[in-house]
Amino acid sequence: MGRLNGKVAIITGGARGMGASHVRRFVSEGAKVIFTDILVEEGQVLANELGENAKFMKHDVTNVNDWDQVVAQAEGRFGPVNILVNNAGIAPNNAIEDTTEQEYRKVIDVNQVSVFLGMKAVYPSMRKAKNGSIVNISSLAGLIAGRNQIAYVASKFAVRGMTKAAALEFGEFGIRVNSIHPGIIETPMTMNDETKAMLAEISKVIPLGRTAKPEEVTNLVLYLASDESSYSTGSEFVIDGGLFAQ
């Protein structure tokens, strides 16, 4: 029996990396999944691979009308939504003096405003379902700051606080809200030509001595999405190989 049997989930940023890992695992655990991204070709390939229990939608997570359409599609195809994983995000590296207002606002829109829009959009559906779990993917940068990441740090700290605020409001309706704070995960966004050497050096100071695979984060996302975490809400869950413990 799957750990998510009978659940309907929405996962953003699901075409590749951590998001694709979440989508695959959710389907294998019995969930029916609407997953979204702006990477249409990669998203459709994954949907074709997974079959009838997964549907891909092109989705601008900063657009309220797109959110309404995603929730409507989920309800129309599968039923009321039980799970939302706010996974979409971007992570530029720029010094403060080199960051334009436009660049800053884009990161806030994609990483922070989208989380607000997503939680607001699924809330009525989860109330109909009479239960729900919202998992907001923040970052270790939502707990400690990093150099040349002013916009990213701001957005991820905000996600942590928004998670707690939503948990207080939604709890009486059986809707749980938690945040996950990954450290260095091996995804296309992090493991590129510009960052590989730097991350190899950082790995040397990680207590576990390595970076993480996306599937390791997926294990935690699955736990929080499932009924196994039925008494966890308003909390942050760190998965960083011990970096934050130092």
Closest C-alpha among 88, 118, 81, 87 to residue 4? 81
Confidence at residue 146, expressed as pLDDT on a 0 to 100 scale:
87
Provide the whole-model pTM. Answer: 0.95
Average pLDDT over residues 43-64: 98
Could you tell me the CATH number of the domain that includes residue 158?
Answer: 3.40.50.720
Asked whether residue 245 is assigned to any structural domain, the reply reads: no
Q: ∠ CA 170-176-178 to the nearest 5 degrees? A: 115
Asked whether residue 63 is assigned to any structural domain, the reply reads: yes
Q: Inform me whether the pLDDT recorded for 35 exceeds 70.
A: yes
Asked whether residue 244 is assigned to any structural domain, the reply reads: no
Query: Is the model more confident about 52 or about 1?
Result: 52
Point out the residues that are catalytic: 152
Asked whether residue 246 is assigned to any structural domain, the reply reads: no
Asked whether residue 2 is assigned to any structural domain, the reply reads: no
By residue range, what is the domain housing residue 204? 8-238
Domain count within the chain = 1
Which two three-digit tokens encode residue 30?
A: 């019995």
